[in-house]
Every structure is written in structure tokens, then in C-alpha cells.
Amino acid sequence: MKRSLLLLLIFTTLSGYAQNTINNYKYVLVPEQYSFFKEVNQYNLNSLTKTFLEQKGFTVYFDDINLPAEIANNKCKALNADLAEKKGLFTTTLTLTLTDCQGNVVFKGKEGKSREKEFAASYGEALKKAFVSLNELPYTFTGETQEVESIKAAEVVAASANPPAVAIESLESSKTLYAQATANGYQLIDTTPKKVLTLFKTSVPDYFIADNGQFKGIVLKKEGKWLFEYYNNDKLISTELLIKF
């Protein structure tokens, strides 16, 4: 009887641990300053952490900016990234951890070490090595996507139920616009260079709130094309954009 209870306890514990994996999370929050540094984004380490996580496939935000409503209303939908430093005389050693909203460790990587003499190079190399064990771990988001799907479904229903009073005009632009990242999205620059559009991120991928200084609307990706859509005198205008991110 005792043996059965012990096996049941072990199985339950392992099952609970296995269920809480990185695959359950789409979002990761990164601090703008690590506890072992005195400056924000010192040695560009926080930005590099964000970039490496994005390359892994996560959607990543710094934890002190205006977050999308989906995360702001429920921080438990995101993992929290952190780095720990082990002090060494000639070695920089960093360890990456990903924890859930209750502080439980979902992932802890192996130590990344560097013997580079220059600080920025040393921290950068140690961070890259700290990500090796995470990069070796398969990742595919398998969590709930109902909220995003509900938004898309609502848009389709609304478009069907309330067609525009006037037919959509399609205007093509032959000029390539270059996306420059901002705190809340992007600004699109032409070759002049001149700012043409400001894009603000939403909780839906490839869907931005847009402002060109004259009209406010949305920029979205439809059938592989980027479109800027807005109303002018009750007429829905749809302009195709050539964007390079």
C-alpha cells in the first residue's frame, strides 16, 4: 500500500512538472536591468536576451513597457526571463532561468562561460553559451490561442455584417518602406529618409494600429500583402505597402 502511494505521488509530481513546459507559453517578459548590474541594459545584455528569445520563437516584451492587454490583464500567460551571474576572477558565468507567474522554474539552462577580457564581449559570449541548452530544447507553442482566434473571428463577422457603405479603393505604392523598431511598435521610413507611418503593436500578430499624421487606421497582413486601411469621408481606403522589417 505504501509503495503504491509512493509511486502515485512520484507520478503526480512528474506529471505536473511535465505539463508546465515552455511549450505552454507564447510570451516572455525580459527585465530592462539585471540585478547584478547598476545600469539599464548594461552591455546590451537585456536587448540580446530579448533577441535570442525571439529567435527561439517566443514573443518577447520588456517587463516595464505598456504591455498588450492579453498579458497586462493576465501576467500568468507569460514566462519571466532572468539571468544569474556567478562571480569569478577571470571568468564571466551566466545562467538563464524562465519562471512562471508564481515563481516556479519552468526552465533553467546550463552555465554559459567566457574568459574574454573585455566586459561587453565577455558578457555577450557568456549569454550566447547560456542559451545553448534552451536552443537545443524543441519549442512549439501549444497553449490556448482562443483569445486571438476570437478577435479574428469577431473581425470577420463584423466585416460580413457591416460591409462598407462605399466600395473599397485599392491603391498601390511602389515605394519600399523600412521598418525601424520603437518602444511600442515601428516607424516606417522611406528612402528620403522621411517617416511615412507610425505602427503600434496589438495583441494580434501582423496587425497594427497605424497613423500617418493625416489618417488613423490599421496596417495588417492579408494574403501575403501588407495593407494600410483607413476611412476618408466614409469611404474605406486600402493601400498596399511594401515593407521591409
% of the chain residues with pLDDT over 90: 47
pLDDT band, residue 184 (cuts 50/70/90): confident
pLDDT-wise least confident of 50-64, 143-157, 224-238: 143-157
pLDDT band, residue 85 (cuts 50/70/90): very high
Cell numbers found for residue 169:
479603393
Q: Three-state DSSP class for 103?
A: coil
Domain spans of the chain?
A: 2-135, 161-244
pLDDT band, residue 50 (cuts 50/70/90): very high
pLDDT band, residue 12 (cuts 50/70/90): very low
pLDDT band, residue 228 (cuts 50/70/90): very high
The CA-to-CA distance between both ends of the chain, in Å, stands at: 62
CB-based contact 200:184 (threshold 8 Å): yes
What is the per-residue pLDDT for 200? 93
Rounded CA-CA distance 245/95 in Å is 31
Cell numbers found for residue 53:
528569445
**3-state secondary structure string across 62-84:** ECCCCCCHHHHCCHHHEEEEEEE
Rounded CA-CA distance 180/138 in Å is 30
DSSP-derived pairing of the beta strands 185-189 and 195-201: antiparallel
Closest CA to 69 of 179, 187, 209: 209
Burial grade of 122 (CB within 10 A; 0-12, 13-18, 19 or more): buried
Indicate the average pLDDT of the chain.
Answer: 81
Closest CA to 239 of 224, 231, 228: 228
Q: What is the pLDDT of residues 167-179, one digit of tens each?
A: 444 444 447 888 8
Instruction: Say which amino acid occupies 67.
Output: L
State in words which class domain 2-135 has: alpha beta
pLDDT-wise least confident of 64-73, 130-139, 149-158, 194-203: 149-158
